[in-house]
Amino acid sequence: MCGIVGYNGNLDAKEILLKGLEKLEYRGYDSAGIAVHNEEGITIFKEKGRIADLRTTVDSEVEAHIGIGHTRWATHGVPNRLNAHPHQSASGRFTLVHNGVIENYHLLQKAYLKGIPMQSDTDTEVIVQLVDLFSKEGLSTVEAFRKTLRLVHGSYALALLDHEDAETIYVAKNKSPLLVGVGDTFNVVASDAMAMLQVTDQFIELHDKEVVIVKKDSVEISTLDGRVVERKPFKAELDASDIEKGTYPHYMLKEMDEQPSVVRKIIQQYEQQEELAIDEDILQAITEADRIYIIAAGTSYHAGLVGKEYFEKMAGIPVEVHISSEFGYNMPILSEKPLFIFISQSGETADSRQVLVKITEMGHPTLTVTNVAGSTLSRESDYTLLLHAGPEIAVASTKAYVAQVAVLAIAAYVTGKARGVALDFDMKQELGLAANAIQSIVDAKDVMEEIAEDYLKIARNAFFIGRNIDFCVALEGALKLKEISYIQAEGFAGGELKHGTIALIEEGTPVFALVTQEQVALNIRGNVKEVVARGANACIIAMEGLEEDGDTLIIPRVHPLLTPLVSVVPLQLISYYAALHRRCDVDKPRNLAKSVTVE
Ligand code: AGP
């Protein structure tokens, strides 16, 4: 989704901003721009398309040491040069970049900006015009900025330049992520620490409705009513090499390859005196709950479905799993002692955050399972369990899903033990075996490439079926395929196909069937026969011990509850190769954003 960078120091601002934007490319965007400020004034460069396209338009002759930049993922107005940020006020005095959505921009435009010609179709432009208007009424820039922000409803991360002040970037945020990075002779702004790791690893987190005056040698944070706030920087625990592709052609491939080590790292991180453990406070919060409500979106929602199986089967606690964007309108009748678990790789997903805000207001305990320490969801919930998966850059989530499933398995197992549930297996050992099984699959990429070629080369659509826990993985397999290869794909409970969707099966339709659960193995094989009888090209992925002659792929045997960690991996790889065959941009699929920071 949109990304913001800003630099105020002594070095070449253009290059730092462009490099920063390149580091934010993974979030997904469709246009980009920068504005730099020097004694000649503010110069804007912006372009539809990739940062590489923007680079070609940037005049290398322009020297500047202060500037702001933006990658835009279109919400209001089509992706084109005109709607790309930065936006400038009609007088040319103020220049602004914005992430988020201004819900009342139409009303504000009608109430305050009649007669001011708008240059773009964006909601953002209203903000910059209002700052200009209020400054013309005699307010200082910071007061005009604050007055504007008091009128605005919605989410925003903002960075503003004033033509009349070449020393300052004005910054503010509400609901959208934004950090200020600090250095000895410079300060920076970034939606994500990764963008500015090139110059610093020290960052100050900003809270909602704070305004920041960023000079090259000072950072002053204040509230909308002008109260100054002191906050110390934290060190971003990121290694610059974690966010490089190395010799891999794509981040997605690198991240799939990292999955065995991610599981091993999780075992280490959650081990205390040779036993798996989670923080005592978290354990208490889970054991005290009479019902768990899991809230998540996309792949994280699919991990949540697996988490439900875990908490119910290993800990004996009933669980509901909800899509975060739906929960606000469809809140179920809550139990007496609910615990809310938010699952989010990024910890920034706006749909999940709006539920967190509501639930926090209601006073219920909240736990976030996330890959990003210090993310909004982590900061704003009572407890956090970290995924320890390292940065996930590819838009398609792979290692984070595996990490989510592994961490949920540990949390449920530890809770079950604490509640005295008889669990006759050693989760640590079983997770170790699952890591080995994942390794053997990522080592057999050529097999997955062949399957992709055989089943998906000319496919228009595909189905993924499974029963029980395999159904959860079928949903994730279908999401992976559609998001990166653009092949229409659906995940189904095996038994459900014949209630309608089987009408779509025709000669050659690929159907991927998962067979990892003994108690339903015969049933799912029955479903495979039904689709094959109608012409489907069935790819059967079976677990060792449940295989039959003619199965396409046999995956190593692991504990029946941990099969999602393993069976998802061939589906990820098959999707990857299908996308490559179609020459799709695997790491940056069209229309998608890595972290979805608008509701
Ligand atoms: C999946 O590959 C996607 N990246 C997407 O579905 C993602 O899982 C979803 O947007 C939720 O993101 P989060 O885990 O960062 O909250």
d(CA 252, CA 445): 13
Choose the residue to mutate in 1, 252, 300, 587 for probing ligand 1, maximizing ligand atoms within 8 Å of C-beta. Answer: 300
**CA atoms of 108 and 419, how far apart (whole Å):** 55
Residue 431: name the closest of 307, 276, 278 by CA.
Answer: 276
Return the H-helix or E-strand segment holding 554. strand 553-555
Comparison of pLDDT for 266 and 155, the residue scoring more: 266
Rounded to an integer, what distance in angstroms lies between the CA atom of residue 552 and that of residue 555? 10
pLDDT for position 382: 97
Is ligand 1 within 6 A of the CB of residue 595?
Answer: yes
Residue 238 has a pLDDT of 72
Token representation of residue 258: 């990292």
- Angle between helices 427-442 and 399-418 in degrees, nearest 10: 170
pLDDT mean over 429-438: 97
User: Is 588 among the residues known to form the active site?
Assistant: no
Question: Per-residue pLDDT for 587 more than 70?
Answer: yes
pLDDT band at 1 (very low <50, low <70, confident <90, very high): low
In the set 173, 175, 482, 594, the catalytic residue is 594
343, 296 contact by CB (below 8 A): yes
Probe target for ligand 1 pocket from 305, 343, 345, with the most ligand atoms within 8 Å of CB: 345
Ligand 1 center–CA 345 separation, angstroms? 7
* Alpha carbons 524 and 542: distance in angstroms, whole number: 11
Does residue 236 have its Cβ closer than 6 Å to ligand 1? no
Cα 594 to middle of ligand 1, angstroms: 7
> Does 397 contact ligand 1 (Cβ within 6 A)?
yes
The pair of three-digit structure tokens given for residue 324, joined into one six-digit string: 């975060």
Residue 446: the pLDDT is 95
d(C-alpha 62, C-alpha 83), whole Å: 23
Other beta carbons within 10 angstroms of residue 427's beta carbon come to 25
What is the CATH topology of the domain spanning 2-241? Glutamine Phosphoribosylpyrophosphate, subunit 1, domain 1 (3.60.20)
Structural contact between residues 370 and 347, judged by C-beta atoms closer than 8 angstroms = yes
Place of tokens 């975060």: 324
Residue with tokens 């989010």: 344
Residue 331 to residue 56: CA distance in whole angstroms: 49
The rounded distance, in Å, linking the Cα atoms of 359 and 349 is 16
Q: In this model, does residue 370 exceed pLDDT 80? A: yes
Cα(481)–Cα(254) distance, integer angstroms: 17
What CATH code would you report for 444-599?
3.40.50.10490
| pLDDT tens column, 470-522 | 999 999 999 999 999 999 999 999 999 889 989 999 999 999 999 999 999 99
Nearest of 149, 115, 121 to residue 134 by alpha carbon: 149
Token representation of residue 149: 């922000």
371 lines ligand 1 (CB under 6 A): no
Secondary structure element (H or E) that encloses residue 55, with its range: helix 51-57
Q: Do 2-241 and 245-441 have matching folds?
A: no
Of the candidates 2, 472, 539, 584, the residue annotated as catalytic is 2
| Residue 396 near ligand 1, beta carbon < 6 Å | yes
- Phi first, then psi: give them for residue 43, nearest 5 degrees: -115, 130
pLDDT single digits (tens) 512-533: 999 999 999 999 999 999 999 9
Dump pLDDT digits (tens) for 256-265: 999 999 999 9
Residue 43 has a CB neighbour count (10 Å cut-off) of 17
Percent of the chain scoring above 90 in pLDDT: 83
Count, residues in the chain:
599
pLDDT of residue 236: 85
Please state which CATH class domain 245-441 belongs to: alpha beta
Residue 390 has pLDDT above 80, yes or no: yes
* 594 tagged catalytic: yes
- 23 with 230: CB under 8 angstroms? no
Q: Are 180 and 187 in contact (CB under 8 A)?
A: yes
In short, whether 475's Cβ falls inside 6 Å of ligand 1 is no
Lowest-confidence pick of 76-80, 217-221, 238-242, 298-302: 238-242
Q: What is the DSSP letter of 332?
A: P
What span, in angstroms and rounded, lies between the C-alpha atoms of 558 and 158? 49
Q: Which is more confident, 537 or 498?
A: 537
Measured by CA distance, the residue closest to atom 13 of ligand 1 is 344
456 ligand 1 Cβ < 6 A: no
With cut-offs at 50, 70 and 90, classify the pLDDT of residue 594.
Answer: confident
pLDDT digits 0-9 by tens, 278-304: 999 999 999 999 999 999 999 999 999
Query: In this structure, what DSSP letter does residue 346 have?
Result: S
Q: What is the pLDDT of residues 167-214, one digit of tens each?
A: 999 999 998 889 999 999 999 999 988 899 999 999 999 999 999 999
Residue of minimum CA distance from atom 16 in ligand 1: 344
- Which atom of ligand 1 is found nearest the CA of 480? 2
Nearest to residue 475, comparing CAs of 386, 401, 400? Answer: 401
Cβ–ligand 1 contact at 71 (below 6 Å): no
Average pLDDT score over residue span 339-350: 95
Residue pair 31/3 in contact (Cβ under 8 Å)? The answer is no
Q: Look at residue 515 in the predicted model and tell me its pLDDT.
A: 98
Which residue do the tokens 């790789």 mark? 345
Question: Could you tell me what percent of the chain has a pLDDT over 70?
Answer: 99
**44 has a pLDDT exceeding 70:** yes
Please, which residues have CB within 8 angstroms of residue 235's CB and are 6 or more apart in sequence?
201, 202
* Ligand 1: centre distance to CA 296 (Å): 9
DSSP 496-512: GGGGTGGGG--TT-EEE
> Mean pLDDT across the stretch 102-126?
91
With a 6 A CB cut-off, is 572 part of the ligand 1 pocket? no
Helices and strands, number each (H, E), in the chain: 19, 27
Mean pLDDT of 411-423: 97
Nearest CA to ligand 1 atom 7: 298
Q: In the prediction, which pLDDT does 258 show?
A: 95
Instruction: Return the domain boundaries, the chain.
Output: 2-241, 245-441, 444-599
